[in-house]
Structure 1
Amino acid sequence: MRAVVQRVTQASCTVDGVCTGNIGNGLLVLLGVEEDDSQDDLEWLGQKLVNLRIFSDENGLMNRSVKDIHGQILLISQFTLFAQTKKGNRPSFIRAARPDQAQPLYQQMGAYLKGLLGKETQMGVFGTDMKIDLRNDGPVTIIMNTKDKENF
């Protein structure tokens, strides 16, 4: 799994003019699922997301997690995180999991994060054209990959 994690003061997702998720302070997480991703990848990434200390404490240092600040998470499925652009100018998404595998893992991640945070995970709608609005705080943006855990 790959995730682009952005610390935000607000973020929302709209599909066909309908808001499907809206948060205040918290994390906007763009999630890509790869063919061989498993429950272990999901759990490792979920734990990292809720415990990642990227929110400021009273001294302005990044010492608090989304859990510590009682923040929220907006989770968006994004297969394009697995784009390969090595050859030509049109990206290939061959490494991204097919929808029948990716959608259940996306839904499971939402439920897993809800359990870890004790509050509803706001979600996009898998496989649709989503419009994402956000106010990046900092900006703070981190890219994570469960296949490269030793660097995260």
Structure 2
Amino acid sequence: MKAIIQRVAKASVTVGEEQISSIGKGICVLLGISVEDTRKDTEYMVRKILNLRLFDDENGKHWCKSVMDKQYEVLCVSQFTLQCILKGNKPDYHTAMAAEQSEPFYNDFLEHMRKTYKPEVIKDGTFGAYMQQAKLEKQQQWKEKTRSKGPSESGKEKAASRAEVDPSTSSGAEGDVSSERES
């Protein structure tokens, strides 16, 4: 299991046009689940995330209070791309747990986090919703391109269309994750 944790003044997850979750001051956690992860890894990661000393105390001393000490919120986002291994310039995700197993695993992670802290301050998005939507949009765009170009499309045009990057699919997150970093 890998996690990227960022202190935020506020953060939100948006799927399509709808804002699914938002938090005020706290942390945003991107979580990548590996095929080798176990319940013990979940317990360890939840304990570490909630007890990380990321915040200042009342006297301004740095790095001495956790999200639980400060009673701040937590926004979690499933992020399979954290399990990427680069093979040359091609990403390989074979170490990432498949969606069928990772969704219940991720939900168990969230449940454990809610039991350990306060359930009302642990927020998340909709597992896999963004990638499914992006995939459907991409398929529709591809159908429209192939219909309009027809069989006369040159090799250079094909390569150029494959090289176009759709920013909505680049993160692997379950939606757009926006945050304002804490100063």
Give the TM interval when normalised to the shorter protein. 0.7 to 0.9
Native 8 Å contact 1:20 1:122 kept in 2: no
Instruction: Tell me which residue corresponds to 1:142.
Output: none
The one-letter amino acid of 2:107's match is: Q
Structure 1 residue 128, shift from structure 2 partner: 2.6
Structure 1 residue 111, shift from structure 2 partner: 1.2
Structure 1 residue 108, shift from structure 2 partner: 1.0
Instruction: Tell me which residue corresponds to 1:43.
Output: 43
Instruction: Tell me which residue corresponds to 1:106.
Output: 106
Native 8 Å contact 1:21 1:124 kept in 2: yes
Q: Distance between the aligned counterparts of 2:119 and 2:100, measured in 1?
A: 27
Name structure 2 gaps, 5 residues minimum: 131-174
Displaced runs of 4 or more, over 4 A: none
Structure 1 residue 96, shift from structure 2 partner: 0.2
Instruction: Tell me which residue corresponds to 2:92.
Output: 92
Instruction: Tell me which residue corresponds to 2:171.
Output: none
The one-letter amino acid of 1:68's match is: D
Higher fraction of helix? 2
**Greater relative contact order, per chain length (Cα 8 Å cut-off, separation 6+):** 1
Are residues 1:131 and 2:176 paired?
yes
Q: Give me the identity figure in percent.
A: 36
Instruction: Tell me which residue corresponds to 2:81.
Output: 80
The one-letter amino acid of 1:131's match is: D
Structure 1 residue 36, shift from structure 2 partner: 1.2
The one-letter amino acid of 1:9's match is: A
Q: Distance between the aligned counterparts of 2:13 and 2:99, measured in 1?
A: 20
SS in 2 for 1:91: strand
Deviates more, 1:113-122 or 1:23-32: 113-122
Instruction: State how many pairs are aligned.
Output: 137
Native 8 Å contact 1:32 1:78 kept in 2: yes
Structure 1 residue 65, shift from structure 2 partner: 0.5
The one-letter amino acid of 1:78's match is: Q
Structure 1 residue 58, shift from structure 2 partner: 2.2
Structure 1 residue 88, shift from structure 2 partner: 2.5
State the Cα deviation string for residues 59-111 of structure 1 (Å, max 9, x = none).
321111000111111000000001111x2212111100001111111111111
Instruction: Tell me which residue corresponds to 2:117.
Output: 117
Higher fraction of strand? 1
Native 8 Å contact 1:46 1:113 kept in 2: yes
Name structure 1 gaps, 5 residues minimum: 139-152
RMSD: 1.1
Q: TM-score, normalised on structure 1? A: 0.86
